[in-house]
Chains A and B, each alone.
Chain A
Amino acid sequence: MAVNNPAHEFHDKLIQPTLELDRQTNWASRLMLAPAVVLLLVWMIVPLAMTIYFSLLHYQLLDSDRTYFVGLDNYQFFVTSLGFLTAIANTVILVASVLVLTIAGGLGFALLLNQPIWGRGFVRILAIAPFFVMPTVSALIFKNMFMNPISGIFAHLAILIGIEPIDFLGLYPLQSIILIVSWQWLPFALLILLTALQSLDQEQMEAATMDGAGALTRFYYIVLPHLWRPLVVVLLTETIYLLSVFAEILVTTNGGPGHGSTNLTYLIYARSLLQFDVGGGSAGGIIAVILANIVAFFLMRMVGKNLE
């Protein structure tokens, strides 16, 4: 144990002088680690193996007696089905737009809140609140009380300034969902980046100012490098969650109109649990896993470089 860590070697020698005790703690630590490893191993392998297996079958939930092997047909049907390309495009647009809006907005707001102001703590509390609102609630609030073209607040405001109210979810479903999801995630970026900013070494900033560095120079050479790690973490966490946006779509548009606001997650859900096509849904699930892994591969490389 602890081969590469001199501090631990020292510690082990000191508190576990006999070989017998050493072997005991060794076993104890393995035993303590086992439940988590076994559970996660099962969680990783069993559903994935089953999904791969189902994806090769003709398997309709309502007609499960006629189940047979079809090879890769499900994949072909899923990829060429109406809505697949739209769903991929929607997924990319949703993830990219929300990332840009929340990270740019969150960074800007964090820089503003990092200035000397009255009541920073209170503003911070107001601004991070949406992150704690469950997705179904935020989607319902926006859908009914804000975006409803007849009785929503946006409609009231539109009439107040004399323009025609807009049916947001009917005409701009994807953009509306991007707005809702950004509202939920901007506070997350803000919270992380503001915390990081406040841990910035003030003496370093003052020294730079004395040496004649302007605000932009200080931002570029001191603030930005300091924020790089938190930015990467925000990017990684948001991407993982944004690839799987589901409740917001289910509650507001059901993926419509047409496939207008269907992302990959929603498309697979619809195929699986609305059309009861286990084979097709599974093929879609495997495609989603592959795509997520490609994204994760690049993200992890970025993170690996930055978190070492």
Chain B
Amino acid sequence: MKIVMVYFKKGLVTVAAWGLGLLIFVPILWTVLTSFKTEEEAVAPNLHILNFSWTLENYIEVQARSDYFHHFWNSVVISFGSTAIGLVIAVMAAWAMAFFPRRNTKDILSWMLSTKMMPAVGALIPIFLIFRDLNLLDSKMGLIIIMVLINLPIMVWMLYSYFKEIPLAILEASRMDGAGLWSEVTLILAPMALPGLFSTGLLNLILVWNEAFWTLNLTAADAAPLSAFIASYSSPEELFYAKLSAASTLAIAPILIIGWFSQKQLVRGLTFGAVK
């Protein structure tokens, strides 16, 4: 009898959890489904869920009308570019602070984090004017610079928390075994630091891909990544739900997949190592 009760409770909790999870997921699911409908079916009030005539025409249409992949490519260049540059700068800083700590290391770390407290809008006008004068408005290079700057503190913190976990004793052991600096770095430190680098890179990719304040304010037709380009769908001309859904699905799919696969690392990165 008792075992029945346990299963009954587990079943009840399962149903509740699945219900809530699905409820939260509905907007995304609905968007993906709508992207395969015709525009007529997309607005029809019959709420067909799967029994509609599936089509790929929206995806073709979105590309044909607005050169969608131009903006997709911008997102790729900006997120990977800023992640690569940011990693180089952050690895050096985190490395120095983790392995050669000084009295002020803690202060430098908190100061770096405190730059995140500065609201972006407080820097909007100067950045806009500087970019205008340097011809960086609506350029991928300009956005890459901004993305590196706004995410550098998070990258340094995250890498620092990973590097701190590399035991120094292992270095001593390798020294005693006669390892030179080069083999020390390539054979011992790099493999141990790689997971941290990888997670930090992933988190940065997600943050940059989805950033929308600077992309909306600093780009136009040419360099706009998806987070800014999609906003042009906010003023509908005609039937457009299915096309909006297709554009949205393509914009969120890559990051959704990366995010799902890197949950654990994300938690750690987003909490600066406080939750593992």
In the complex, the answer to whether A54 meets B244 with C-beta atoms within 8 Å is: no
- Select the residue from B95, B126, B148 with max chain A CB neighbours within 10 A: B126
Q: Which residues of A in the span 79-129 have a Cβ within 8 Å of any Cβ on B?
A: 109, 112-113, 115-120, 122-129
In the complex, the answer to whether B123 meets A48 with C-beta atoms within 8 Å is: yes
In the complex, the answer to whether A125 meets B260 with C-beta atoms within 8 Å is: yes
Instruction: Across the interface, name the chain A residue whose C-beta is closest to B255.
Output: A132
Interchain nearest-CB distance for A273 vs B (Å) = 7
Q: A33-B92, A40-B149 are in contact. Are A127 and B100 (CB under 8 A)?
A: no
Q: Determine, out of A189-197, A205-213, A214-222, the stretch whose residues face the partner at the interface.
A: A189-197
Interchain nearest-CB distance for A73 vs B (Å) = 17
Chain B residues near A149: list those with CB within 8 A. Answer: none
Chain B residues near A15: list those with CB within 8 A. Answer: 171-172, 175
Q: Determine, out of B21-29, B53-61, B62-70, B186-194, the stretch whose residues face the partner at the interface.
A: B21-29
With A and B bound together, what is the CA distance between A15 and B188 in angstroms? 15
In the complex, the answer to whether B101 meets A5 with C-beta atoms within 8 Å is: yes
Out of B25, B126, B156, which one reaches A36, CB within 8 Å? B156
Interchain nearest-CB distance for B202 vs A (Å) = 11
Q: A145-B34, A230-B271 are in contact. Are A140 and B248 (CB under 8 A)?
A: yes
With A and B bound together, what is the CA distance between A125 and B172 in angstroms? 42
With A and B bound together, what is the CA distance between A186 and B210 in angstroms? 17
Q: A47-B122, A133-B252, A285-B123 are in contact. Are A112 and B24 (CB under 8 A)?
A: no
With A and B bound together, what is the CA distance between A26 and B102 in angstroms? 10
CB of B47 closer than 8 Å to a CB of A: yes
Out of B96, B153, B274, which one reaches A233, CB within 8 Å? B274
With A and B bound together, what is the CA distance between A144 and B168 in angstroms? 56
Chain B residues near A191: list those with CB within 8 A. Answer: 263, 266-267
In the complex, the answer to whether B259 meets A132 with C-beta atoms within 8 Å is: yes
Size range of the chain A interface in the assembly = 35 or more
Chain B residues near A119: list those with CB within 8 A. Answer: 14, 18
With A and B bound together, what is the CA distance between A120 and B263 in angstroms? 14
In the complex, the answer to whether B16 meets A112 with C-beta atoms within 8 Å is: yes
CB of A171 closer than 8 Å to a CB of B: no
Map CB proximity to B onto A267-286 as digits: 1 under 8 Å, 0 otherwise: 01100110000100110111
Q: A119-B18, A130-B28, A151-B45 are in contact. Are A237 and B270 (CB under 8 A)?
A: yes
Instruction: Across the interface, name the chain A residue whose C-beta is closest to B20.
Output: A109
In the complex, the answer to whether A123 meets B217 with C-beta atoms within 8 Å is: no
In the complex, the answer to whether B231 meets A247 with C-beta atoms within 8 Å is: yes
In the complex, the answer to whether B128 meets A273 with C-beta atoms within 8 Å is: yes
Q: Which residues of B in the span 90-105 have a Cβ within 8 Å of any Cβ on A?
A: 90, 92-93, 95-97, 99-103
Q: Which residues of A in the span 136-152 have a Cβ within 8 Å of any Cβ on B?
A: 136-146, 151
CB of B51 closer than 8 Å to a CB of A: no
In the complex, the answer to whether B276 meets A8 with C-beta atoms within 8 Å is: no
Map CB proximity to A onto B228-264 as digits: 1 under 8 Å, 0 otherwise: 1011011010001100110010011001101110011
In the complex, the answer to whether B115 meets A43 with C-beta atoms within 8 Å is: yes
CB of B143 closer than 8 Å to a CB of A: no
In the complex, the answer to whether A127 meets B270 with C-beta atoms within 8 Å is: no
Q: A29-B99, A127-B20, A265-B121 are in contact. Are A135 and B227 (CB under 8 A)?
A: yes
CB of B141 closer than 8 Å to a CB of A: no
Q: Which residues of A in the span 230-278 have a Cβ within 8 Å of any Cβ on B?
A: 230, 233, 237, 240, 243-244, 246-247, 250-252, 264-265, 268-269, 272-273, 278
Interchain nearest-CB distance for A206 vs B (Å) = 16
Instruction: Across the interface, name the chain B residue whose C-beta is closest to A137.
Output: B248
Q: A47-B123, A141-B27 are in contact. Are A159 and B45 (CB under 8 A)?
A: yes
CB of B117 closer than 8 Å to a CB of A: yes
Chain B residues near A243: list those with CB within 8 A. Answer: 119
With A and B bound together, what is the CA distance between A10 and B100 in angstroms? 12
Q: A33-B93, A244-B213 are in contact. Are A44 and B115 (CB under 8 A)?
A: yes
CB of B220 closer than 8 Å to a CB of A: no
With A and B bound together, what is the CA distance between A281 and B234 in angstroms? 25
In the complex, the answer to whether A25 meets B43 with C-beta atoms within 8 Å is: no
With A and B bound together, what is the CA distance between A32 and B108 in angstroms? 14
Interchain nearest-CB distance for B50 vs A (Å) = 16
A-B contact pairs, 6 of them (CB 8 A): A3-B103, A35-B93, A40-B111, A113-B17, A132-B259, A141-B244
The 9 A-B pairs at the shortest CB distance, nearest first, are namely A47-B123, A36-B93, A247-B212, A50-B126, A29-B100, A123-B21, A132-B259, A32-B92, A296-B117
Q: A11-B171, A135-B212 are in contact. List 10 more A-B contacts (CB 8 A).
A: A36-B112, A131-B259, A133-B28, A145-B245, A159-B45, A191-B267, A247-B213, A265-B120, A273-B217, A292-B119
